[in-house]
A and B are shown apart, each in its own frame.
Chain A
């Protein structure tokens, strides 16, 4: 996949910042997207649109705090297609995998700046920063997670399991 970067290098961007609890009264993704990141940056949507960004680059422990799946849902609904961070909080990590929002653990976020154009090859495990003409390798997810990612999330994974078990019975 190819896309442009919007970068918030802060560590510990938590789920309260990604989507404040006052908006957890509705699970409509578009409603959540409208308020996504607003306590961190009121101009998030404007900045993202100006940059035409689809890749969010952030600091370590991204998504710490609550279990609210509304956080990755909101980010996905704003048009973010990939999040790159040195580490993710564990519930955010599983929520992103489960809803089919690609995330990528990569420690050297200094290699990317807002506006950079990246080309990511998930098969080879390579990020190419087209803007700076530099390439970086990343470790791919374990095979188990690849299975969930391959079917675009846990719902399809579960439906396949049901289909298989019913075929078997």
Chain B
């Protein structure tokens, strides 16, 4: 029987040539990444491993450090953590270290910088590393110790995952985006519905989906517990890769047959989705949520899930010549400096500022309750981010509702969670 795509990529990165789902293997990695929250511990681990040896990092061109979570440094403690990354990058001549001004939200930044190619094996000490499955890489989130070991040895242990195939058929309704498809899917299978498995996204809908929407879908595979999301590279992938300077890459034939399970999702009946507190699986269609008239204090448009230029264009289209509701704080966070500059050139920043929103520098910021938009007890936010766990964006008695950028923008104008159809 044919191997799944994950089995093929893993096989070609390890010594064991005969493998199947469930096996534990040591793989050679193509890239590894860490951020200001996870890398300080990884650096400590690295130094402990190489102590007393002549060893350096396994390859300074394959380690990526992105201080993106609490930057620009929110306080002295976070400044100290970022300095650990900077000092390490200097000491070991790390090629891909990004200082503020160049740094963006890692999962927006790395593809844009041309650092991710199909069929690569990538680990990142950040759970949303699964985003790069959108480019056909096998890419998964790990912890700091994993990263520390990877920086020393260029290796990581993995269990070969099984694959769940999701086939999206039918037609997309108006305002339905990749965010809605993935929220709907998580709502269907639950926050542990894909634990340890790969979520492979297929079908005519995916074939026609933009790269930005594909990134969004793979990004949130972790919210169903998955090891990674995956989409087979096609013309849309190739075009994107070409735009970031990648023209040669390895691909595998799409002849996966060994699925753990195949799930077909009929998109004809899917409306834009809202994930209500406090789980990403707690989803309802917007028509139902709009009737609940849920007033909001804050709207966040950004993050590794929805901080790309396409997301900002949608928000700007809705906000143009409109005003943010007087009792709402609307925070727009472009994912990278390039996205921010593009938004400036396209006039989107002007639209946001005229509407009464503020534009933040690229940062993970409020998504994880870091900074740049923390919620008080009792406050509510609509957010294009990825998690709505209790206390995620601030006080434990605050609430986060997850949505696509169009709904977040509309809700910012209306003051309550509303469909763009109501504009």
CB within 8 Å for A22 and B369 given contacts A12-B279, A16-B387, A95-B143: yes
Smallest CB–CB gap between B345 and chain A, Å?
33
Smallest CB–CB gap between A65 and chain B, Å?
6
Smallest CB–CB gap between A126 and chain B, Å?
24
**CB pair B191 A67 closer than 8 Å:** no
**CB pair B391 A94 closer than 8 Å:** no
- What residues make up the interface of B, taking CB atoms closer than 8 Å to A? 24, 37-38, 40-41, 44-45, 48-49, 53, 55, 69-70, 75, 77-78, 81, 124-127, 129, 141-146, 148-149, 152-153, 157, 191-192, 195-196, 225, 227, 279, 368-370, 387, 389-392, 396
Smallest CB–CB gap between B279 and chain A, Å?
6
User: Which of chain A's residues has its CB closest to B55's CB?
Assistant: A162
**CB pair B195 A94 closer than 8 Å:** no
Stretch at the interface among A50-58, A110-118, A151-159: A151-159
Q: A22-B369, A25-B81, A94-B142 are in contact. List 15 more A-B contacts (CB 8 A).
A: A16-B369, A16-B390, A39-B396, A61-B195, A66-B368, A66-B387, A67-B125, A67-B129, A69-B38, A69-B125, A91-B141, A95-B144, A99-B143, A158-B153, A162-B53
A-B contact pairs, 22 of them (CB 8 A): A16-B390, A16-B391, A21-B370, A25-B78, A25-B81, A27-B40, A39-B390, A61-B191, A65-B389, A66-B387, A67-B141, A90-B196, A95-B143, A95-B146, A98-B143, A98-B145, A144-B24, A145-B24, A148-B157, A154-B146, A157-B149, A162-B49
Q: How many A-B contacts are there with CB distance less than 8 Å?
A: 133
CB within 8 Å for A90 and B55 given contacts A12-B192, A16-B390, A21-B368: no
Smallest CB–CB gap between A35 and chain B, Å?
12
Q: Give the docked Cα–Cα distance between A158 and B155 (Å).
A: 9
- Residues of A54-101 contacting chain B, CB below 8 A: 60-61, 64-70, 73, 87, 89-91, 94-95, 98-99
Give every chain B residue within 8 A of A98 (Cβ-Cβ).
Answer: 143, 145-146
**CB pair A67 B142 closer than 8 Å:** yes
User: Which of chain B's residues has its CB closest to A23's CB?
Assistant: B77
Query: A17 contacts the other chain (Cβ, under 8 Å)?
Result: yes
Give every chain B residue within 8 A of A166 (Cβ-Cβ).
Answer: 53
